[in-house]
Structure 1
């Protein structure tokens, strides 16, 4: 196996006296979808926030493309190509769909033509956003806001896309569309790290998967292996 594009070793995060994440090790191979699953409160989102530089690490090292990025602030991680789609979408509701997407490219220095080309690519990937291009983001449905959040992150031209609970609060048919889009984005070569409570959907699309319980990795393997793992079936898949 080639060297990981992103690797995490000994990651720990504390909230006061509470150890939310304990000595987590994981790695992402370039071009793959990797997922981190587990129950609500297991520490999944905290792990992602620590990787994004949005919460401080108590311990651990993060290597990205051969460089130690453990101490980089969030905005520099975005510029380096590590971009997160936040839980709850975090769209800027008083701005238009187009303005939200354009803001995703704020770290880029490659010229207006390249950004305009990527904007059109987002409208091709998400036709609903094109239809609502000049409308306020606050008027979008939950599924449309999730599309907008993903599109805004893609406008930064990430090398690794971090997704925090993209299916949260969405109808099943909308969730299917979101996961279909993630497979399409990944097929274009983008590395994806998916934190998700919808364990079945996440394991179906992931080449590599980790199960987090009480802040600690308790199982790892391919998505297919963990789908067939009795402990995962009993705890997360209803039997």
Structure 2
């Protein structure tokens, strides 16, 4: 059995007296798409922020690619290959598209030629970014900003890409484009952990899925299995 790329045991996060994440276990297989779904306020985004080191963990252990990263600061977690695309995209609006992408590779030490090659890969994935390369990120549409946020994360050459609500606020046709791109980069070998409000879409592309309710994992299984699970259909799919 292949060892998980990300192995999380007993993760807990508290905000004051409120336990936002309550002792969850997660196991992400390399080369797969795993999704975490649940209602607003279930603790999904908090889980990703804790994995990235952006909020404090109250308990638990996080092992990534065979190394304990539980106590590492965010910049060292990024340098280890775990990179997050934040909810709301968080592009630097006063910088150009190219400057945003260049910043994505700031932790890398493999030389300008390698970064230039990856930049071309990003432009191949998202031709619109190439067209807008010298324009300000703040002038991009919502869909283009999401492309830029994903492209910037890819410039860090991640081993694991965390995505927080990539479809939020986007038109359905743009959502289809984003998910098509996620499948494409996954087929090239990138492991993806997806938090997504569009439960049906997330489960369709997921190899494995977890359902989070009130900070606890209540169901897990293949995406196809949970897509047809009556409890999931009733709670999230209008069935």
TM-score category (smaller protein): over 0.9
1:84 aligns with 2:84: yes
The superposition leaves residues 183-205 of structure 1 with CA deviations (integer Å, 9 ceiling, x where unpaired) of 00000000000011110000000
**Within 5 A, what are the aligned runs for 1:172-211?**
172-211=172-211
SS at match of 1:201: helix
| Structure 1 residue 65 displacement after superposition | 1.3
Task: Tell me how far apart the structure 2 counterparts of residues 65 and 103 of structure 1 sit (CA, whole Å).
Answer: 24
Name stretches of at least 5 consecutive residues in structure 1 with no aligned partner.
none
Q: What is the aligned partner in structure 2 of residue 152 from structure 1?
A: 152
SS at match of 1:72: coil
| Structure 1 residue 120 displacement after superposition | 1.1
**Within 5 A, what are the aligned runs for 1:59-208?**
59-208=59-208
The superposition leaves residues 6-62 of structure 1 with CA deviations (integer Å, 9 ceiling, x where unpaired) of 010000000011100001101100000000000011000000000000000000000
Name stretches of at least 5 consecutive residues in structure 2 with no aligned partner.
none
TM-score normalised per structure 2: 0.99
Q: What is the aligned partner in structure 1 of residue 237 from structure 2?
A: 237
SS at match of 1:161: strand
Task: Tell me how far apart the structure 2 counterparts of residues 5 and 117 of structure 1 sit (CA, whole Å).
Answer: 25
Task: Tell me how far apart the structure 1 counterparts of residues 218 and 62 of structure 2 sit (CA, whole Å).
Answer: 20
RMSD: 0.5
Q: Following TM superposition, where does structure 1 have runs of at least 4 consecutive aligned residues deviating by more than 6 angstroms? A: none
Report the count of equivalent residues: 239
**Within 5 A, what are the aligned runs for 1:20-35?**
20-35=20-35
Task: Tell me how far apart the structure 2 counterparts of residues 55 and 42 of structure 1 sit (CA, whole Å).
Answer: 16
